[in-house]
Amino acid sequence: MYELDVAVTRAINGLAGHSAAIDYLMVWVSGIGVPVMVMAVALQWWRGSDRTHIRHVLVAAGFSFLLGLALNQLILLFIHRARPYDNGVTDLLIERSADFSFPSDDATATFAIAAAFLLHGARRAGFAFLAAACLAPSPGSISGPTTPETSSAEH
């Protein structure tokens, strides 16, 4: 399993360090991805159409976000997956993170938001948030702080 983890991590992280412009973009997006997504959710509070339903979805998205992060903390009590850069597998573009890599808080938060919208029938917004959720953790995987869930240090 470790060999697969290394191969996947190197394939994703292999883009780091080849272009200063792309490196800068990845660092920038990894820093603002989740906050921008949360702001996009919050701004819908004042959306004009079907305000009651949208507000219900927004509250559900907020609770999903918080529940997902709480579950992450429980998982971290039992599963300890070191970050690939701690094992010399990847190159860093940004500062090290002290916590374990699995599960990713950013990925959990963004997918929880998308799931809440989709499960409550807000398909257009749900698919937009799902696309953002798929993209938001990617820059971090390239730049170093967030790693794919397959990036285990377990042997």
Could you read off the pLDDT of 92-142 as tens digits, one per residue? 555 555 555 566 778 888 899 999 999 999 999 999 999 888 876 554 444
Count the domains in the chain: 1
Q: Is residue 154 situated within a structural domain?
A: no
Q: Is residue 60 situated within a structural domain?
A: yes
Q: Is residue 68 situated within a structural domain?
A: yes
- State the residue range of the domain holding 73: 2-143
pTM of the model: 0.69
Q: Is residue 151 situated within a structural domain?
A: no
Would the pLDDT of 148 be above 50? no
User: Helices in the chain by DSSP H: which ranges?
Assistant: 2-13, 20-42, 51-78, 105-119, 123-135, 137-143
Q: Is residue 102 situated within a structural domain?
A: yes
Q: Is residue 127 situated within a structural domain?
A: yes
Please give the DSSP secondary-structure letter assigned to residue 152. Answer: -
Q: Is residue 32 situated within a structural domain?
A: yes
